[in-house]
Copies of this chain bind each other. A is one copy, B any other.
């Protein structure tokens, strides 16, 4: 069943996000896009079968996460490349959250030769945190997910 067929899930932004981001390979493709990969063959290298890759790239373009651009290298035919669009760049916190969770709870068994972290461009480490209106950090245990009824008349 598609979760979004239930109205209760349609009104949940988690379920709506997962309809796009939850498809197999999509978040790994976006990871590659954040590493600067743009070409079909570069994406294919992560192990996604080519049939799936074409379908996923189309879906990510349709959803506005990637932008399709024609390019042509000299002596080559024209091809498509895929670069992060605004909505795609906004997926960074999702990836960062997954990195933090994975590094904490699924540390590599043996042969852990590579670590993933989030850093500033200059290289100093950054992490995701909950902050309140004044920018003060809030402990995760003090945070709850709230479902708020929105008055149909004056929501903004």
Contact = CB atoms under 8 A, between A and B. Distances in A.
Interface of A: 1, 3, 5-6, 8-22, 24-25, 27-28, 31, 34-35, 46-49, 64, 87, 89-106, 108, 111-121, 123-133, 135, 137-138, 140-150, 152, 155
A96 B17 CA distance: 11
A150 B108 CA distance: 12
Contacts of A11: 108, 112-114
Nearest to A137: B135
Contacts of A131: 126-129, 131, 137
B93 A101 contact: yes
A34 B144 contact: yes
